[in-house]
Amino acid sequence: MKQLIFNLLLSLFLFISCSKNKVATIGNELSLETSPYLLQHAKNPVNWKAWSEKTLNTALKENKLIIVSIGYSACHWCHVMEEESFENDSIAKIMNENFINIKVDREERPDVDNIYMNAVQLMTGKGGWPLNCITLPNGKPIFGGTYFTKNQWKKILNDISKLYKENPKKAIEFANKLTDGIQQSGLIKLNEDKVNFNDIDIKNSIKKWQKDFDLSYGGAKGEIKFPSPNSLEFLLRYSHQFEDESVMNHVTNTLTKMAYGGIYDHINGGFSRYSTDKKWHIPHFEKMLYDNAQLVSLYSKAYQKNKNELYKTIIKETLNFVKNELTAENGAFFSSLDADSKNIKNELEEGAYYYWSENELKSLITKNYALFKDYYSINEFGFWEKDRYVLIRNTSNEEFSKKHNISLETLLTNVKNWKTTLRKARKNKNKPNLDDKVLTSWNGLMLKGYVDAYKALKDESYLNVALKNANFILDNQLQKDGSLYRNYKNNKSSINAYSEDYAIVIESFMSLYEVTFDEKWLKHAKSLMDFTIVNFLNKDNNMFYFTSHKDNVLISKSIKVVDEVIASPNSILANTLFKLDLYYTDSNYKEIAYQMLKNLKNDALETPSGYSNWLQLMVNYTRPYFEIAISGNDVNTIKNELLDYYIPNIIIAGSEKENSNIPLLENKFIEGETFIYVCNLGTCKLPQKNTKEAIKLISK
């Protein structure tokens, strides 16, 4: 299918050049939207419209091709293409005369993005943003790609519009074949075979994965590095339970090199989306909520495992960044900070807020500059381009203090002073734009990040933030019929939530229950799961659609199973179904989770880096998994003692009273006593009073 599509594509398009015209500034319908990304395009001369049934019906009525242009507020190359093409009068004229032009915020409408990203990947073998697709009036794609120069884009527009006018049959034939390919690529077959999950298969899969490990700088081999937090979280668990020192070394090296790198903001805290080099140095500078949320969770779990002070610093500084830059007064979390900001010439430039010149640094760091220079690599290792440096470390604090013959305490005092100085200096720079829309799934990720940080560091303020956000979700995003909204902006909730939103909120509420023992969070998680099963489940294969049965069907109804930067909604739902069954002894949950994993077994073992969260579930079936039930007056003391340990193969329940609504806690209360019950799939060992003795009953 891919080769056929490619051959057809080659026969249609060649690129030529064109000239640049002056920009005209007029308005379009996007001025009525709330998305910061859509509003960025509201003054383009292109007659942009938002994605809606009305707009799609207009294309059908007028028999016009559609341009679906997808991006997000923090996207650098989206800004570049806007400046070069969408603000250009001559380009806008071609688009307005020949096409219905639709702008889509991929973060608000991931359902639309999924469809057309799939199309572009089938056509070109790659994807990214901005994503630009040209479709028939019925929405079936005939051309697509990512960033195009102005000359390329003009040629594409003229060729496609000419093709459709002169040879519509050829365009329709190609679109139908491509749409068939999209629909076929999303099929998941029901696996009715008897399946054996075993350690040997998992170990062999990890050995295959290890060939892609960068043993020098961590992460995966390649010149572009993504943090991939859910992959690293699985590898952390695998190395712990399978006692694999080589994998543990890889995880530790990756976490350390990311923390040292320029992808991490050493001044304000927080991570950029990815680095453009193998040593994590020069990032693509946008800071996304979902990255920072998951990385907080990852570093928190790693800290539970080995109590590394570097990880503790990263957790605290990243959460400080989230608090200062991405948190609303009502407890909601905003989406991102832009990659671009205005430089000293008042021009938008990627990374302008983050890089420094050496002369600038010398003028600011007036004491111990030589020490500062070596610590943050103001040398060939830390050089970016021109006279610009992005701060990057290359050694541990302990090694650095020995090298310079100073105490660790003296070094840390210097580091604190340097950060304070540069933080003050940065306040004089133009800040990147904030995307202040609130997305339910991303908020769930950040909620869980705060919970995991609380587990690791026992900071009550982190738990308070998590509770405030959870209540925001209940008060604003949960509807009376049990459904969720996807989006929140300007005090208004909108867009029906996707399975991603349900999956992540369920997971975050379950995590919140484990640190509060407030049963309302587990109750809400169960209610949301029941709603998801009714409204998203494909009963033919026991997988969950991305959109609900109530939503309008696009050209294809997608089922997302690959774990990308965010784990797939299906893998999260499968994991939470497994755990909810242990809490509630619900055979339906159990059967769905097991069937989902059966369906994906071969894919997960064949391509483990893309199915890491599925492997989390698979290990639950190959290694012991425990339910910890605590009952009595001292439940919170016992709970906090348990949280000092990294134990990835447990769920926790607890109550100070006898009348719990959770089946896992039934018949476990004894007046005047506090007992810890270690159970495996419903069978409990002798109750313990001492946490350390209970831990001994938990095997890897």
Phi, psi for residue 34 in degrees, rounded to 5: -110, -20
Instruction: Please state at what angle helix 150-166 crosses helix 89-98, rounded to 10 degrees.
Output: 20
Structure confidence at residue 552 (pLDDT)? 81
Q: What is the DSSP code (8-state) at residue 62? A: H
Contact 252, 303 (CB under 8 A): no
What per-residue confidence (pLDDT) applies to 26?
58
Would you tell me how many other CB atoms lie within 10 Å of the CB of residue 195?
15
Backbone angles phi, psi at 487, to 5 degrees: -120, 150
Domain count, the chain: 3
Reported confidence tier of residue 20, pLDDT bands at 50, 70, 90:
very low
Q: Residue 390 corresponds to which amino acid?
A: V
Nearest to 84 by CA among 165, 170, 154, 171: 154
Using 50, 70 and 90 to split pLDDT, how confident is the model at 517?
Answer: very high
On whether both 266 and 292 belong to a single domain, the answer is yes
Contact 117, 130 (CB under 8 A): no
> What is the pLDDT averaged over residues 626-640?
94
CA nearest neighbour of 509 among 531, 489, 494, 492:
531
* Residue 263 belongs to a domain: yes
290 with 429, same domain? yes
Asked whether residue 464 is assigned to any structural domain, the reply reads no
Note down the domain range covering 72: 2-185
- pLDDT band for position 84 (cuts 50, 70, 90): very high
For residue 212, what pLDDT is reported?
97
d(CA 301, CA 283): 24
Between 333 and 25, the more confident residue is 333
Task: Report the CATH number that the domain containing residue 172 is assigned in CATH.
Answer: 3.40.30.10
Does residue 18 fall inside a structural domain?
A: yes
Instruction: Compute the average pLDDT of residues 599-622.
Output: 97
- Bridge pairing between strands 675-680 and 626-631: antiparallel
Q: Stretch 649-661: mean pLDDT, rounded? A: 91
Band the pLDDT of 553: cuts 50, 70, 90.
confident
Tell me: do 218 and 164 sit in the same domain.
no
H/E stretch holding 675: strand 675-680
What pLDDT is stored for residue 9 in this prediction? 44
158 and 223 part of one domain? no
Mean pLDDT of 660-680: 91
Of the three residues 371, 405, 435, the one that is the final residue of a domain is: 435
Per-residue pLDDT, 496: 96
Q: How confident is the model at residue 435 (pLDDT cuts 50, 70, 90)?
A: very high
Indicate whether 88 pLDDT > 70.
Answer: yes
The reply to whether 142 and 277 lie within a common domain is: no
Identify whether the C-beta of residue 544 lies closer than 8 Å to the C-beta of residue 569.
Answer: yes
**Same domain, yes or no, for 158 and 248?**
no
Residues 151 and 208 both lie in one domain: no
For 179-225, the pLDDT digits (tens) are 888 778 778 999 999 999 999 999 999 999 999 999 999 999 999 99
Greater model confidence, 649 or 75:
649
Pick the last residue of a domain from 125, 159, 185.
185
Provide the pLDDT for residue 14. Answer: 31
What residues form DSSP beta bridges with 678?
A: 628
At 670 the pLDDT is 87
Regarding whether 373 and 339 lie in a shared domain, the answer is: yes
Assess whether pLDDT exceeds 80 at residue 11. Answer: no
Query: 12-16, 328-332, 405-409, 691-695 — which is least confidently predicted?
Result: 12-16
In-domain check, residue 152: yes
**To 10 degrees, what angle do helices 199-210 and 229-241 make?**
130
Q: DSSP state, 339?
A: S
Per-residue pLDDT band for 27 (boundaries 50, 70, 90) equals: confident
Q: What is the C-alpha to C-alpha distance for residues 666 and 643, in angstroms, rounded to an integer?
A: 23
Q: Of the residues 151, 185, 219, which one is the last residue of a structural domain?
A: 185
Cβ proximity of 164 and 203 under 8 Å = no
CA-nearest of 619, 561, 575, 565 to 191 is 561
CA gap 411, 393 in Å, rounded: 14
Residues 122 and 211 in one domain: no
- DSSP track, 381-440: TTB-STTEE-----S-HHHHHHHTT--HHHHHHHHHHHHHHHHHHHTTSPPPPEE--EEH
- Tell me the pLDDT tens digit for each residue of 290-327: 999 999 999 999 999 999 999 999 999 999 999 999 99
Weakest-pLDDT range from 238-242, 277-281, 549-553, 570-574: 549-553
In a domain, 605, yes or no: no
What mean pLDDT comes out for the span 480-509? 97
pLDDT at 6 over 50: no
Q: What does the alpha-carbon distance between residue 538 and residue 550 come to, in Å, rounded to a whole number?
A: 13
Beta bridge partners of 231: none
Q: Which residues of 162-172 are buried (b: 16+ CB within 10 A; e: fewer)?
A: ebbeeeeeebe
Q: Give me the chain's average pLDDT, please.
A: 93
pLDDT of residue 124: 83
* Token pair recorded at residue 155: 């040629």
| pLDDT at position 605 | 98
Q: Return left, alpha or beta for 19; rule: phi > 0 is left, psi -120 to 50 is alpha, else beta.
A: beta
End-to-end C-alpha distance for the chain, whole angstroms: 45
Q: Which of 587, 582, 560 is nearest to 572 (CA)?
A: 560
Q: Are residues 242 and 145 both part of a single domain? A: no
Picking from 21-25, 116-120, 388-392, which range would have the lowest pLDDT averaged per residue? 21-25
**Residue 506 located in a structural domain:** no
- Annotate 178-207 with DSSP letters as a single string: HHHHHHHHT------S-----HHHHHHHHH
16 band by pLDDT with thresholds 50, 70 and 90: very low
pLDDT band at 21; cut points 50, 70, 90: very low
Q: Percent of the chain at pLDDT above 70?
A: 96
The neighbour count for residue 184, using CB atoms within 10 Å, is 11
Is 64 within a domain?
yes
Residue 1 pLDDT more than 90? no
Residue 401 is assigned to a structural domain of this protein? yes
Give DSSP secondary structure letters for 545-607. -SS-TTSPP-SS-----S--SSPPHHHHHHHHHHHHHHHH--HHHHHHHHHHHHHHHHHHHHS
Same domain, 209 and 174: no
Residue 587 has pLDDT above 70, yes or no: yes
Q: Is the pLDDT of residue 550 over 90?
A: no
496 forms beta bridges with 485
My answer on whether 211 and 157 are in the same domain is no
Is residue 10 predicted with pLDDT exceeding 70?
Answer: no
